Amino acid sequence: MQKLSEMKTGCSLSFMREISPEVFAALKKMGVDCSEYSFGYDYYMNRADFTKRAGEYAAMAEDAGIAQWSLHLPFSRELDISSQNKVMRAVTLYTDRELIKAAAAAGVKVMVLHPSSEPIDEESRPARMELSRQAIEMLAGVCADSGCRLAVENLPRTCLCRTSDEMITLLSGTGAGIVFDTNHCLIEDNIDFLKAVSAAGLEILSMHISDYYRDADGVLDERHDLPGTGINRWGELLSTVLGTGYRGPLMYEVARKPRLRGTEVSNEELAENMRKLKLGLIG
């Protein structure tokens, strides 16, 4: 079993807000080992021209000593694999296929996928589940053919995969694994969620590390804040993850300015938090 102190540390490029040699150099200075590309459709397809320049970005990362671990496929209410709008669903799947093939050819190991957007009402939920599953099966096949893995993320609120039962139903037999986001379980305890999906035979391929908490009105929601600021029991949570046989990194997905935080998170603050989490100093 992998030890916490041996885990690689990763950072989502959503925190850095761009892809550039300077960004990868900054990550290296922070002690980061690997990264996740995480942007919207416009940045990937227009501003960064990622499908044509993925090899160039891979060279930037390699020059800085940063491994390319994962790519978060773009998502929005329009870009939704469970969409009942046939045109937008086709656009979404085409975009995902092209990004997967380009990223895999450049050496990215894991492709992160949202199983839906929201809101989803209870009446349309079964149909949305079926559309999502069809897309996941297809994209898992694209990943297998491209030499990478598809990992579906657990999501909050009315999204699909908001409970372990729903994730097990959606993913079992598809060939896809899981990205476990540590601030998305709003209905079910994180530890219980992890134990249930692992017992069902689903493989945790990657993680999104951040913390969450209730607002002044008592509402629990995702916050993407630094570990130690919220309700996660980090020692137990990470021990549970490692107990499933997890071999991936501690991939941080902290917002530059979390929702209820008055100031931005600095590079130095994030780096220090990463160091403390690996040492088991955040409970």
The 3-state DSSP class for residue 233 equals coil
Mean pLDDT of 76-92: 97
- Kindly give the pairing relationship between strand 177-181 and strand 149-153: parallel
**E runs forming strands in 101-252:** 110-113, 149-153, 177-181, 204-208, 211-214, 220-225, 250-252
pLDDT grade for 1, boundaries at 50, 70 and 90: confident
Hey, what CATH topology would domain 4-278 get? TIM Barrel (3.20.20)
Confidence (pLDDT) at 59:
98
Calculate the average pLDDT of the chain.
97
Question: From the centroid of its chain, how far is CA 187?
Answer: 19
Q: Report residue 127 as tokens.
A: 């149909």
The letter for the amino acid at 70 is: S
Encode pLDDT of 21-59 as tens digits: 999 999 999 999 999 999 999 999 999 999 999 999 999
Give the list of residues 6+ apart from residue 268 with CB closer than 8 angstroms, or none.
30
Encode pLDDT of 252-282 as tens digits: 999 999 989 889 999 999 999 999 999 999 9
Give, as one character, the DSSP assignment of residue 158: T
**What are the boundaries of each domain within the chain?**
4-278
Mean pLDDT of 144-151: 98
The letter for the amino acid at 249 is: P
Pair 144, 104: CB distance under 8 Å: no
Per-residue pLDDT at 283 exceeds 90: no
pLDDT grade for 179, boundaries at 50, 70 and 90: very high
The 3-state DSSP class for residue 71 equals strand
Q: What percent of the chain has pLDDT over 70?
A: 100
Per-residue pLDDT at 2 exceeds 90: no
Confidence (pLDDT) at 154:
98
User: CA triplet 65, 70, 75: central angle to 5 degrees?
Assistant: 135
